[in-house]
Amino acid sequence: MSNTNASGEMVECPNLAGKPTLKAVASRKSILGNGLPIIRHLPSRDQRLIGPWCFLDHIGPTSLAADNGVDVGTHPHIGLQTVTWLFEGALLHKDSLGYKQEIRPGQLNLMTAGHGICHSEESPDGFSGPMHGLQFWIALPAEHEDTAPAFSHHTDLPQWNQDGADITLVVGELDGRRSPAQVFSPLVGADIVAKEACTLTLPVPAGFELGLCINEGRTDVDGETLQVGELYYLGCGRDSLTLTLDANSRVMLLGGEPLGQPVLLWWNFVGRDQERLEDAMADWEQFPNKRFGDVEAYQGKPLKAPSLDPSVRLK
């Protein structure tokens, strides 16, 4: 997806690593493209990062008509990975490396932007029906921010049942298991589903900053009831996490080691300094170009970057 924040504001993302805590992250509702409702959880004014996770859109739940599907035109990314994970529906990814990949629930699309890539995201031809899912961005550590762009699609992810909950390890590591998807710093992204009410305790690395995105049903943590459609920040310093899930509940556990470096996010770009982001903006204005290429399989127009006020400087 593309960041629709066109306020002209440069968002600085300081690291807010701390002790175990539990607080709701202030999120905002928005509409993407031609009417796709999303909740933008990250970045938030009071929570810029959770580990290396720097962006989180909760897509839907909604119902799409065949003539009003998702259509996010060609747009660029640098310095990050996008993680697309659906609960219901389908999306069609096309990118400047030539990949054209439909994604369905239970499958992972992982795009590594690195030095530069562009892509489009659409509903598959003729698709109609329920649409519900998540798209996250992972900030790449400085030593990997210029890595070569890549795309991978995963249909065989680690899955297990623990204390009655079905867990899928989408990216990273959890409880001695590891997702095959390539990531560049220690992190976790795990989908936890309870068909029946259950309580489970997961071992987690104490050095991981953690968050919980509540996607369906009711979940209790630390004696508090968490609300569906909200993201909660759990801090770090926990060596285990106990979740009490009602029947038909679904949560996403995300987090990782804090990057320990300042991270800047502007539109669809992540970097360590403003010049890097301005260079990417200048390159995108000269579309198509060698850095970002073109999505030849996408029929519509590329997205324009919001204008960047040259007087805006980061400290």
Residue ranges in contact with Mn ion by CB under 5 A: 1
In the complex, minimum distance from the CB of residue 292 to Mn ion, in angstroms, rounded to a whole number: 12
In the complex, minimum distance from the CB of residue 67 to Mn ion, in angstroms, rounded to a whole number: 23
Q: What are phi and psi of 144, to 5 degrees?
A: -120, 5
Q: How far apart are CA 135 and CA 83, in angstroms?
A: 6
In the complex, minimum distance from the CB of residue 311 to Mn ion, in angstroms, rounded to a whole number: 28
Name the residue nearer to Mn ion (CB basis): 1 or 39: 1
Name the residue nearer to Mn ion (CB basis): 1 or 170: 1
Name the residue nearer to Mn ion (CB basis): 1 or 263: 1
Torsional class of 96: left (φ above 0), alpha (ψ -120 to 50), beta (otherwise)? alpha
Q: How far apart are CA 56 and CA 229, in angstroms?
A: 12
Name the residue nearer to Mn ion (CB basis): 1 or 64: 1
Beta-bridge partner residues of 122? 71, 92
Q: How far is CA 229 from CA 130, 209, 217, 247, in A?
A: 16, 20, 10, 17
Whether 140 and 111 have beta carbons less than 8 Å apart is answered as no
In the complex, minimum distance from the CB of residue 82 to Mn ion, in angstroms, rounded to a whole number: 6
In the complex, minimum distance from the CB of residue 93 to Mn ion, in angstroms, rounded to a whole number: 9
66 class by beta-carbon count within 10 Å (0-12 exposed, 13-18 middle, 19+ buried): exposed
Q: How far apart are CA 243 and CA 165, in angstroms?
A: 10
Whether 137 and 53 have beta carbons less than 8 Å apart is answered as yes
In the complex, minimum distance from the CB of residue 253 to Mn ion, in angstroms, rounded to a whole number: 23
Name the residue nearer to Mn ion (CB basis): 73 or 235: 73
Name the residue nearer to Mn ion (CB basis): 243 or 264: 264
100 class by beta-carbon count within 10 Å (0-12 exposed, 13-18 middle, 19+ buried): middle
In the complex, minimum distance from the CB of residue 267 to Mn ion, in angstroms, rounded to a whole number: 10
In the complex, minimum distance from the CB of residue 135 to Mn ion, in angstroms, rounded to a whole number: 8
Name the residue nearer to Mn ion (CB basis): 1 or 210: 1
Cα dihedral value 162, 168, 172, 173, nearest 10: 20
Q: Tell whether omega for the bond before 61 is within 30 degrees of 0, i.e. cis.
A: yes
Name the residue nearer to Mn ion (CB basis): 33 or 256: 33
Task: Name the helix (H) or strand (E) containing 282.
Answer: helix 274-285
Name the residue nearer to Mn ion (CB basis): 168 or 268: 268
In the complex, minimum distance from the CB of residue 115 to Mn ion, in angstroms, rounded to a whole number: 16
Task: Tell me the DSSP string of 70-109.
Answer: -EEEEEEEBSEEEEEEEEES-EEEEETTS-EEEE-TT-EE
The radius of gyration computed from the CA coordinates of the chain, to the nearest angstrom, equals 19
